[in-house]
Amino acid sequence: MTAIIQTEGLRRAFGDHHAVDGLDLAVAPGETFGLLGPNGAGKTTTIKMLSTLLPPSAGAARVCGFDVVTEAAAVRRRIGYVMQQVSPMGHYLLTGREKAEIEASLCHVPRRRVKARAREVLELVGLSGSADRPVTGYSGGMQKRLDLASDCCTSPSC
């Protein structure tokens, strides 16, 4: 069985500081995997490399069978990424439903499916009951779930 995420000797240096130094990892499809460690251990740097936001200094990484450096666009089409901080929204006047519909449109969901897909992802993250409230009234946790719903609009899969 092919690993859904695989790294070999993955490294990332910032000057003389080695944030990630020789990470070998294989995550099987359907496996739940967590990166644990103290502040500064390289967890966020690893995720940024796997999601193509930061190139490795050395080594190799594949996500869904695609190289994160040479096939970055293919990786990005197949993953979702919710950042550590709630995304800065210029959409504060929108409702959660409106934001989800915009995200679905941006993710190339067919026009006839946009409303249905927005409804599905809001239900998935437990926001269907708050979908018609302005995002300004959402708690930090609700905004994080709305970010997650936005990432799910693409139906991330390998």
- How much is the average pLDDT of 100-128? 90
Give the chain's mean pLDDT: 88
The pLDDT value given to residue 42:
94
The pLDDT value given to residue 156:
64
9: left (phi over 0), alpha (psi -120 to 50) or beta: left
The pLDDT value given to residue 88:
55
Query: In the predicted model, is pLDDT for residue 19 greater than 90?
Result: yes
- How much is the average pLDDT of 110-118? 92
Domains in the chain: ranges and CATH: 5-78 (3.40.50.300), 96-152 (no CATH)
